[in-house]
Amino acid sequence: MIRIAPSILSANMCRLEEDVKRALSAGADMVHVDVMDGHFVPNITIGIPVVRSLRECCDAELDVHLMIRDAERYAPSFVEAGADIVTVHVEAAPHLNRVLTSIRESGGQCGVVLNPATPISSVSEALEISDMVLLMSVNPGFGGQRFIGRSLERISKLKMMIEERGLDIPIEIDGGIDPGNAAEVVEAGADVLVAGSSVFTANGGDVENNIAALRSAAMLGSQRRGR
């Protein structure tokens, strides 16, 4: 089953609860929270208090994507605030094993994120201690960017590495995902689709139809993957 994870970066922060609940009622499977610190990426977004508030207002799985320089210092606090899974960039975590382990020890699931130009092999030594791998299909920092086509090959390559090891780790793809490319990314091996602008702002913010369109593209992709 392919999961759809709307990114609240494109939601209206004045009515965040309403937007999140609307996406969940429309069939979203989890909520993707983009945390940016203005250092690792050139943008500043939201942090621990917002995760805590989201945890209080919804039961859905909270998928927290840390785009921060000091991930090791803050990751456990996101789990304590209510994150179900916390993903950290390999480019921002020199002590990757330590930070992933600390997330699990705090009671959360952990994942590794790779930027578009970071070799797939850089996740190799951390695969066995990861619950998910997130591949960026844009350079992180902003919503609404265009999908980088090369990401398709990267998904296939990572999928192969996971299968060769006999592991069962979902691949999440993030950046520029819309109904026009969702089938292809799923066919290549993606299991979780992050989508911000194509859920909350496309087509005048018609969240229900936007999620339905992503869902049918994802189903087409998984049928193609299966044969």
Residues that are catalytic: 34, 174
C-beta of 103 vs 107, nearer to ligand DX5: 103
Q: Which of 174, 178, 184, 187 binds Zn ion (CB under 5 A)?
A: 174
Q: Closest distance between Zn ion and the C-beta of residue 63, in Å?
A: 8
151 binds ligand DX5 (CB under 6 A): no
Packing angle between helix 71-81 and helix 48-57, nearest 10 degrees? 20
* Sheet of 3-6, strands arranged across: 3-6, 192-195, 171-174, 132-136, 109-114, 85-89, 61-67, 30-36
Decide: is 6 part of the binding site for ligand DX5 (CB under 6 A). Answer: no
176 binds, among ligand DX5, Zn ion, none (CB under 5 to 8 A by kind): ligand DX5
Name the token pair of 121: 């092999």
For the bound state, the minimum distance from the C-beta of residue 166 to ligand DX5, rounded and expressed in Å, comes to: 30
- For residues 42-71, which are near Zn ion according to CB under 5 A? 65
Residue 37 lies near ligand DX5 (rule: CB under 6 A): no
Alpha-carbon gap, residue 119 to 101, rounded angstroms: 22
10 touching ligand DX5, by CB under 6 A = yes
Asked whether the CA dihedral 71, 72, 73, 74 is positive or negative, the reply is: positive
Is position 205 an interface residue for ligand DX5 (rule: CB under 6 A)? no
Cβ proximity to ligand DX5: between 145 and 156 the closer is 145
Q: Which residues have CB under 8 Å from 11's CB, separation 6+?
A: 19, 20, 23, 200
Nearer to ligand DX5, 158 or 194 (CB): 194
d(CA 29, CA 61): 7
Q: Which is nearer to ligand DX5, 117 or 160 (CB)?
A: 117
CA quadruple 40, 180, 190, 17: dihedral sign:
positive
Q: Any contact of residue 140 with ligand DX5 (CB under 6 A)?
A: yes
Both structure tokens of 223: 């049928």
Q: Which residues bind Zn ion (CB under 5 A)?
A: 34, 65, 174
Q: Which residues bind ligand DX5 (CB under 6 A)?
A: 7, 9-10, 32, 34, 65, 138, 140-141, 143-145, 174-177, 194-198
